[in-house]
Structure 1
Amino acid sequence: MQTQWTLLQPDKDLVREIQQQLQCHPVTAAVLANRQIRSAEEAADFIKPDLGQLPPPACLTGMAEAVARIAEAIAHRERILVFGDYDADGITAAAVLHHFLQAAGADVICHLPHRIQEGYGLQTMHIMQLAVPRHVQLIVTVDCGSAGADAVATAKRFGIDVVVTDHHNTDGCLPGACAFINPKRETAPGPLNDLAGVGVAFYLVIALRAALREQGWWQQRPEPNLKGYCDLVAIGTVADMVSLRGVNRLLTRVGLEVINTGARPGIQALITAAGIRQLPITADDIAFRLAPRINAAGRIAHAHLAFDLLAAPTLAAAQPLAQDLDGLNQRRQQMENKILAEIDGRLANRPEWVTARKTLLLAGTQWHEGVLGIVAAKLVNRYHRPVVVLSARDDQAKGSGRSIPQVDLHHALACCDHLLEKFGGHRLAAGLTVATENITLLQAAFEAAVAEQLPAHDPAPELRIDSLITLDQISPQLLDELESLAPFGTDNPSPLFMARDVRVTTAAIVGQRHRRMVLCQPDQCTPPIGAMHFNITSDTPRAQSFEQLAFRLQWNRFRGAKEIQMIVEGF
């Protein structure tokens, strides 16, 4: 499918205002204006965010009730169960709350479910087989619980209170819970609507610390410095691909600062195991190197391995756990590639599935459920349409879906609710269970539901260009200013630029799949600039010049030195 290039056109007066007040490069000012920043003051706050800008926890409905009940449990030494999820967001959320409750002297235990054996979320069996036998008096969920009405009701019958903290789509209420915190409950847009599960857990901890301070609790024990928890918040937030604007960007930025101090042994061991040598650690390092290894535990083994890594007290204790996660990640990649190869074979034999449909819904026999979300995401990138991948075992199929920005996947699945055993998730990602006999019906219903959200013509993948520039505009000042706009991710992409009439001075293939080049433009006196085009294929043209080139800019750091580098995204 042909990629559409869109050159953004920011308001010229706003660009001029930002440039004058911030004394920044005009290209930087244009990028800021493209990020829906409405004034020079907002631009200044964006470049230099501060934890003092965080909205208060009271913005979240249910926070006061949750804090009161948990503080009571701490004071009376009631046994508290922190119940999380098996992905990086759920694991880090559980680590944040568990670590804080331990620091507060609570009687606390933690449980992360096994993906295959237990499935997602708090269920009745967890009350009967875990909470009751272990004499739990309060359960606090993180990154799950919104769909756990039956479990909450069962807990209540046994005299166990439940506080739910979550961020997944919800019907808006949870009868029986003594507190229910979920930004998706809020009836109006607010600054905390896009929090990840770990962000909600962190906000709960902020409010708990303040309440305990008012009670004089910290006079007998050290009061935790919550900035030190932001490394966990950053990992969970980036891993869950929530919006990296506003509060999420601020918490992630602070979290990256903490990660780069080397404060947490588990994260440092994971950085080494992942082979990351270039510092500082960035959001891309989390997204592509750290989070996949943390997720690998919950995908194909048990999430407690990753939880134990994040809780490791020393580097010596953390290193073998990090190596185990690295090995699991390699196994995960092998499983994923095997499923993708099988799907490629099917689509080659049935090309009409790609040419005539707006969706892909694929099912296999006993595909490993833990890697289906990654497979779906890769197929979305390849075919630019919503994808659901299912693994059928006996009379049920479980799977994951991923979507494109133009389609609300959760809404599409809600339209198919009559065919589903259960489902849940977000606009861009969801999990579901369907009776095997209904897979064909679901395929047709899902196609119809997505078609209702799309225009008559299929939406093309898009490159949104921040600015048309010449290579002589690229300078160390510009690179430093662009770096200050990080961390980059969902809703705050790394700036993308376009240049015309670019010549290749030299080129070579490195690492078998990457093309290293030196680029210039005619009639310019500035030195040529190094560039990398990653993951080229045998079909990628080895052009000696580019009429139009789309690229990102970054510092290439190596052994204490740095140089400007262009990263080619298209031509």
Structure 2
Amino acid sequence: MKTVRRLQRRNTGSKGADLLSRLYGNRGVPDPQELDHGLSGLAPFEALSGIHQATALLEQALIQEQRILVIGDFDADGATSTALALRALRAMGAVAVDYLVPNRFEYGYGLTPEIVAVAVERQPDLIITVDNGIASLEGVVAARNRGIRVLVTDHHLPGSKLPEAEAIVNPNLPDDPFPSKALAGVGVIFYVMVALRARLRQQGWFQHRGIPEPNLGTLLDLVALGTVADVVSLDRNNRILVAQGLRRMRAGQASPGILALLQVAGRNLARTVAADLGFAAGPRLNAAGRMDDMGIGIECLLTDDPVHALALAQALDDLNRERREVEAQMQDQALDSLAPLLERGLTGAGSHGLCLYEPSWHQGVIGIVAARIKDRLHRPVIAFADAGDGLLKGSARSIPGLHVRDALEAIATTHPGLVTKFGGHAMAAGLSLPAVHFESFQQVFDDTVRRWVDPANLEGVICSDGPLSPQELTLETAEILRAGGPWGQGFPEPLFDGEFEVLERRWLKGRHLRLRLRHPEGEEAITGIAFNADPEDWPEDRERMHLAYRLDSNEYRGLCSVQMVVEHVFVGDHFWYGRGC
């Protein structure tokens, strides 16, 4: 069962600045200065340990016209990181810089010895990892044995041993003083490029070479997309980066690839918000790495030709449609496999930490399936797919109260050989294990979750900003909320709740429920929409419902109107419909 917890409430009849003040206070941001999105508010690059070694390495590579190879990850963070590194290095005078992204289905994640062997064919002098590398102990050794120097830029949590690279930049290194530990991989490489530009400026590089000093602010659209798509926490530093990138998109000054991704998703560029990156541009970019090869996505971000960018964006849109179909089938299979647990109310063995596996599952989609089931059941979930050669690859998604990477490390330590490799963050991680160990791992993971997680954390809680008055259910309020972001992970978009009269309901395409609602104390009706609502799960006809909702503006044929996006429905004490917590 999920319950509603209303956050701090003040002046519930307020509008405008007072409403935003209450919402920011609910999110632990009482100081108005923290809402200043000017670039001057960014944490300084000097606070990153390893930044001076990294820029010295890069400066030498530029001076000596070395061949530089960027090796990224196959998700949106990795793609934006790769594109940003190439665009910045080329703008600063690199004469030979290229990229290589491991295919998920052939080489797996990170700088492995196998991908180093492929990289050697391009004869690089320097490898730069972006959004990976902190766990690539063997890969770094393999590169150095071939005479290739390595610069690791990453944001994932390090293990007990660091790779023997020439330089490492990662805000999550032990004792690193950088204040924002939530930087995405694209944020880390952006900081490295800003620091490199400062070093080159000090050395007179641009003047001596006759190169115009690049405005790296033009790359903030890439930073915004990668940051939101990787679902890292939007602390103040990340909010600044995202807000600045969104500002460029709304002005039509983003890269042609990002503009094309938003266009094929049907988004109005002038009204782009963080949610458009998280639910429209990001999934389409991610679809390349999930279903095919991320090279399509990176080329979309690198091209300066709008026509070519649109063609690539349309190809990514097609891949995303395919991904949605595969995901829907896998999610149904996952729920079918959980039917015995659901029938007994998620109690007993195997009910705390959920491990799911079907031999036919697609490696590129298991992370999404794990996230969907986690949202629905509020349990840590690991979904596995067959990786061949007797191995399974798993993608884990966690809940507050369980640091899933630490849990995997504990399992690997106490049960040697059970897990082949692992890595990730507190809320998301990846791992590999022999297929013959699946049932043993399933039990060990469930036992670990039982020991580590307070039972209260297994009860979903919907955090609401409280009710809105009838006078606040307006287009003006919706526009204020849109402009009050960027909202996202760790700084959630406002969610309100209250009782409403149901005047009318109508199913659209059998998937979305359109409602006409009225506040009990109001006179005007308001449109509501519940996306992807299963008619079988929706409560029977009722004249009154307790709804948790977001207030948004809906644009149709150039006209904007207010609408309530219904996220959860309660009837009495029973939770009927919800899109996760």
- TM normalised by structure 2 equals 0.90
Which of 382, 385, 390 is the matching residue for 2:384?
Answer: 390
105 and 508 in structure 1: CA distance in 2 versus 1, 3 angstrom threshold: same
Indicate the larger mover: 98-107 or 502-511: 502-511
Alignment partner of 1:530 is 2:520: no
Compute the displacement of 1:207 (Å).
Answer: 0.6
Deviations for 1:256-304, whole angstroms, at most 9, x for unmatched residues? Answer: 1222233321122222322335751222221122111111111121111
Which of 212, 224, 240 is the matching residue for 2:214?
Answer: 224
Indicate the larger mover: 168-177 or 190-199: 168-177
Which of 371, 395, 399 is the matching residue for 1:400?
Answer: 395
Compute the displacement of 1:432 (Å).
Answer: 0.6
* Structure 2 equivalent of residue 360 of structure 1: 354
Indicate the larger mover: 110-119 or 538-547: 538-547
Amino acid at match of 1:408: H
Compute the displacement of 1:349 (Å).
Answer: 5.5
Amino acid at match of 2:509: G
* Structure 2 equivalent of residue 440 of structure 1: 439
Indicate the larger mover: 556-565 or 294-303: 556-565
* Structure 1 equivalent of residue 572 of structure 2: none
* Structure 1 equivalent of residue 109 of structure 2: 120
* Whole-Å separation in 2 of the counterparts to 1:492 and 1:333: 27
* Whole-Å separation in 1 of the counterparts to 2:372 and 2:441: 21
176 and 569 in structure 1: CA distance in 2 versus 1, 3 angstrom threshold: closer
Indicate the larger mover: 173-182 or 536-545: 536-545
* Whole-Å separation in 2 of the counterparts to 1:458 and 1:270: 37
* Secondary structure of the corresponding residue to residue 271 of structure 2: coil
* Structure 2 equivalent of residue 146 of structure 1: 134
* Structure 2 equivalent of residue 233 of structure 1: 223
Give identity over the alignment, percent: 36
* Whole-Å separation in 1 of the counterparts to 2:360 and 2:501: 50
Equivalences, count:
555
212 and 173 in structure 1: CA distance in 2 versus 1, 3 angstrom threshold: farther
* Whole-Å separation in 1 of the counterparts to 2:307 and 2:240: 31
Pairwise mapping of residues 10-409 of structure 1 onto structure 2 (< 5 A)?
24-38=16-30, 42-46=31-35, 48-106=36-94, 107-131=96-120, 133-171=121-159, 174-187=162-175, 190-219=178-207, 220-263=210-253, 264-277=255-268, 279-348=270-339, 351=343, 354-356=346-348, 357-392=351-386, 393-409=388-404
* Whole-Å separation in 2 of the counterparts to 1:153 and 1:447: 35
Deviations for 1:406-438, whole angstroms, at most 9, x for unmatched residues? Answer: 221111111211210000111111111101121
* Whole-Å separation in 1 of the counterparts to 2:262 and 2:483: 23
Amino acid at match of 2:372: K
Alignment partner of 1:558 is 2:547: no
Does the 8 A contact of 1:279 with 1:557 survive in 2?
no
Compute the displacement of 1:365 (Å).
Answer: 1.8
188 and 210 in structure 1: CA distance in 2 versus 1, 3 angstrom threshold: closer
* Structure 2 equivalent of residue 494 of structure 1: 493
- TM normalised by structure 1 equals 0.92
* Whole-Å separation in 1 of the counterparts to 2:179 and 2:521: 48
* Secondary structure of the corresponding residue to residue 407 of structure 1: coil
Amino acid at match of 1:403: S
Deviations for 1:76-122, whole angstroms, at most 9, x for unmatched residues? Answer: 10111111111110010011011111111212111111101111000
* Whole-Å separation in 2 of the counterparts to 1:69 and 1:144: 18
Amino acid at match of 2:352: K
Alignment partner of 1:429 is 2:428: yes
* Whole-Å separation in 2 of the counterparts to 1:337 and 1:296: 15
Compute the displacement of 1:43 (Å).
Answer: 2.2
Deviations for 1:320-374, whole angstroms, at most 9, x for unmatched residues? Answer: 2122212211222222233223333323366569442102112222522111111
Amino acid at match of 1:311: L
Amino acid at match of 2:516: V
380 and 99 in structure 1: CA distance in 2 versus 1, 3 angstrom threshold: same
Indicate the larger mover: 193-202 or 48-57: 48-57
Gaps of 5+ in 2: 570-581
Does the 8 A contact of 1:470 with 1:499 survive in 2?
no
Pairwise mapping of residues 448-527 of structure 1 onto structure 2 (< 5 A)?
448-456=447-455, 459-500=458-499, 502-524=500-522, 527=524
Does the 8 A contact of 1:28 with 1:478 survive in 2?
no
383 and 209 in structure 1: CA distance in 2 versus 1, 3 angstrom threshold: same
Does the 8 A contact of 1:3 with 1:462 survive in 2?
yes
* Whole-Å separation in 1 of the counterparts to 2:21 and 2:323: 42
